[in-house]
Amino acid sequence: MCGIAGFSGFGEDYRHRRRYYEEILEDMAASVRHRGGDQEGTYLSGHGGLAHARLSIRDVTGGRQPIVRRRDGCEYAISYNGEIYNAGELKAELAGKGYTFETTTDTEVILLGYMDRGTDFFQKLNGIYAFAIWDGTLERLVLVRDRAGVKPLFYAIRAGELVFGSEPKALFAHPLVTPEADLDSFREVFGIGPARTSGHGVFRDVWELEPGQLALFDRDGLKKAFYWRLEAREHTETYPETTAHTAFLVRDAVERQMVSDVPVCAFLSGGVDSSIVTAIAAGCLGREGGRLNTFSFDFTGNKRYFQSNSFQPEQDRPYVDIMLEAHPELRHTYLMCTEEELAEELETSVAAKDLPGMADVDASMLYFCRLVKQHNKVALTGECADEIFGGYPWFYRKELLEGEGFPWSRSMEMRELLLTDECRRALHLGEYSMAQYRESVAQTPALPGETGEELRRRQIGWLNLRWFMQTLLDRMDRASMWSGLEARVPFADHRIIEYLYNVPWEMKYREGEEKALLRDACGHLLPQALMHRKKSPYPKTYSPVYQALVAKKFEDILANPNAPIRPLIDREKARAFAEAPAELGKPWFGQLMAGPQLIAYLVMVNQWMERWHLSL
């Protein structure tokens, strides 16, 4: 992957102050250098500028960006972050029309495809991507984000100029964009976080393209449109046909995502999803005489402190070992994180994300990705299967399925617990969260006449794709790209999303087992002991040492009169809670964020406010 950034405006010709604007582009590229430290480049025209920090995966020596092509005296330029998995087929089509290629990159395929068919070409893309194209013929900037929202793309408009980047920090490297917060910023952080409302950049007047969306910016301003939308369709296949169709889609997605000019590895948690991806990838490499590197993650002493609960019933390590016994060809590395390392990474993860995140879930992924990058540049993950196949308890547990509000974040009690009365009255967190929920539910793609439980299943599936999956994809992107590691997500292939969204629930959940369809479709790839393993989410530490370290960080913040979060927190309640964080197993977000994670989240909020000089 890479980091992209740039700007467009029509108030002046940038070339009249070329060096000034080139320096801005260089600063913007430097701000996202961690996403790709192999090369940097810039492009400047009269009304558009592009910056690029490259992680070289395809055409390592010849794929420098931005790529520029000329036609009829006009220039077209692209800065691109992502991977196109059907680039070979698209390149053949374009070559058949007479186009010639100077590189073997998928970047050039996108640019020439746009020159051939305009924005209609984007509907042909299969991949994960965010890119910007300067069109010198029409004098416009084109911004595009992939269908699933795997790759980020933020933007802001200041003084008539559009500024964009892979991360908010790229925008803040432009002199027109200053990080600021308003009431909605803090409503997002306290009422929705660590999720975000789709398209909302949390900072004041900072936005993000939504999944499947494109934007055109020219002299008439900004126009946005969806080149792809999820649609409800009637499912007519039998269960055996559905199983076979699913098996093909999963295998094809993984095999397509093996394309790379550098070695690919896989995250292997011991769960069903990552084990399926690993088995397919290992087989693909094996046919070429190669061996797959795999990595699993855990915490020092977790075996001693692990506490089984309804959300996390068992540990992963025994199942990793079972998978390795079944696939001795794998080259596996067990990665461990200490309590001290985990606590220290909380602040780093805020720097990586520019926002508070999923506490130690973000921090540990950031740490592990740094270690994986020492071995590989590209990793396959099992992310998104639970959102698409219905693996989370709120898909099938009655008390979580029913009722209003986000099922992974139903109660505001824990979120408001430590805030001052004044802060609660100003933010109205419950009202804000419910408004976002209702607006999103109203957009659910459904068939005419769907009502009752049938419609509710649609809504839960839609909410997971638009909210919970986006949160996890944000986490994976920032954690991996902080170390220049490209994380690919085969289950987020848009063909899988489109197909599974319309598969009836009774095919996904059979005989009391979640993700039964996925198990039946791909179970032949798994050891028998893994076939019916219950869902167990990404590991977290249960160590009291970690809890004490985080509590100490929080207490230091409370004792610091200059800590920016301090005016928002009821210090007496906070001190009591930090000394004995309750509800270790009852999450306030998702399945992993309980009492200790609330404290860690507030530590991250303080770091976010301090880093960008924010206040309420």
Supply the residues annotated as catalytic: 2
Tell me the C-alpha distance between 22 and 4, whole Å: 15
Tell me the C-alpha distance between 582 and 413, whole Å: 13
Report angle CA 66, 72, 77 to the nearest 5 degrees: 10
Tell me the C-alpha distance between 151 and 32, whole Å: 14
Tell me the C-alpha distance between 425 and 417, whole Å: 13
The set of residues, in sequence order, having a beta carbon less than 8 Å from that of 305 and lying 6+ positions away, is 541, 542, 543, 544
DSSP single-letter state for residue 513 = B
Report angle CA 276, 316, 604 to the nearest 5 degrees: 105
Burial code (b: 16+ CB inside 10 Å, e: under 16) for 352-383 equals: bbbbbbbbbbbbbbbbbbbbbbeebbbbbbbb
Residues in the chain: 616
DSSP single-letter state for residue 468 = I
The SS3 of residue 446 is coil
Tell me the C-alpha distance between 298 and 532, whole Å: 22
Tell me the C-alpha distance between 616 and 581, whole Å: 26
Are 278 and 385 in contact by the 8 Å Cβ rule? The answer is no
Element (H, E) at 303: helix 302-305
